[in-house]
């Protein structure tokens, strides 16, 4: 699986004509899984553009705050070798992500590998707008037996809206692809197609919206589609 990043920008007519430039590159895998016994894993970076690309990689411990927002802190638990990448046009390089510090057993450790283009390293043309790209890859160090434990409840927040609160009491991440409120006939009442990660020990809230009127009250199911292709359903009762 590849994660492709490209940038295309349309700039309105101005007195001066500017050219927007950004590199294109791919990284595989897009999610990195390691076991505590693993010393290193391979990551492939490909330059899909016709110019040299210089990139810098940083590693962060990844937590979530009570509101679900990411809390990142630079870490030396892992290292990417080399941390600065110089790729010729249409070339690729295999780098190594190494675990330097043994991690506690029992609970999955979560990190983010953030790769940024260094625009200053690219040749500067006349009146060119250098656009830097950056993206983030999750890194999971998972001990044997670690697993998610997802529980969700739903409360009405408006006539056409409900609030789903999903907590993960397990020892591994949960990634929810989508949430749907479904009636007894299996019809969708409301939903959300973009959700996200719920790390261990975290509870996040997600708004579910019905686009064509009031969400009826009564017994319904909240169905969570997870990243491994499974569905998890929760029985809930909404007030009228």
For residue 63, the surrounding DSSP H or E stretch is strand 53-64
Share of the chain above pLDDT 90, in %: 70
CB neighbour list of residue 125: distance below 8 Å, 6 or more residues apart: 19, 21
* Entry pTM: 0.84
Nearest one of 48, 126, 121 to 84, comparing CA atoms? 121
Domain ranges of the chain: 3-141, 150-238
Other residues' Cβ atoms within 10 Å of the Cβ of residue 204: 23
| Distance between CA atoms of residues 74 and 16, nearest Å | 40
Q: Rounded CA gap, 79 and 153, in Å?
A: 39
Confidence (pLDDT) at 18: 35
Per-residue confidence (pLDDT) for residue 123, from 0 to 100? 58
| Residue found by looking up tokens 């929810």 in the block | 176
Assess whether pLDDT exceeds 90 at residue 19: no
May I ask the CATH class of domain 3-141?
mainly beta
Q: Which two tokens stand for residue 143?
A: 């001990």
Q: 28 with 42: CB under 8 angstroms? A: no
- At 121 the three-state DSSP class reads helix
- What's the whole-number mean pLDDT along residues 116-122? 75
Residues of the chain with pLDDT > 70, as a percent, come to 85
Give residue 119's pLDDT.
Answer: 76
**Per-residue pLDDT tens over the stretch 146-186:** 999 999 999 999 999 999 999 999 999 999 999 999 999 99
> Taking the CB of residue 156, how many other CB atoms lie within 10 A of it?
16
pLDDT in tens, 98-110: 999 887 778 999 9
Split at pLDDT 50, 70, 90, the class of 240 is: confident
Q: What pLDDT score does 10 carry?
A: 30
Distance in angstroms (rounded) separating the CA atoms of residues 172 and 169: 9
Topology (CATH) of 150-238: Immunoglobulin-like (2.60.40)
């Amino acid at each position: 699986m590849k994660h492709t990043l490209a940038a295309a920008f349309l700039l309105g007519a101005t007195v001066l004509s500017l050219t927007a430039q950004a590199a294109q590159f791919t990284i595989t895998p897009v999610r990195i899984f390691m076991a505590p016994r693993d010393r290193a894993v391979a990551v492939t970076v490909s330059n899909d553009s016709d110019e040299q690309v210089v990139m810098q990689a940083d590693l962060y411990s990844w937590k979530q705050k009570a509101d679900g927002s990411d809390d990142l802190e630079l870490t030396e638990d892992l290292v990417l070798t080399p941390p600065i990448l110089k790729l010729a046009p249409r070339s690729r390089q295999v780098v190594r992500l190494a675990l330097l510090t043994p991690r506690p057993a029992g609970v999955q450790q979560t990190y983010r590998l953030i790769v940024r283009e260094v625009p200053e390293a690219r040749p500067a043309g006349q009146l060119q707008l250098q656009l830097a790209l950056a993206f983030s890859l999750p890194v999971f160090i998972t001990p044997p037996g670690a697993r998610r434990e997802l529980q969700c409840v739903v409360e009405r927040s408006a006539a056409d809206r409900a609030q789903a609160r999903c907590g993960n009491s397990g020892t591994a991440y949960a990634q929810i692809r989508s949430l749907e409120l479904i009636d007894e006939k299996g019809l969708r009442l409301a939903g959300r197609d973009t959700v996200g990660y719920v790390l261990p020990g975290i509870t996040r809230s997600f708004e579910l919206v019905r686009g064509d009127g009031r969400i009826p009250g009564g017994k319904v199911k909240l169905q969570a589609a997870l990243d491994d292709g499974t569905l998890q359903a929760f029985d809930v009762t909404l007030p009228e």
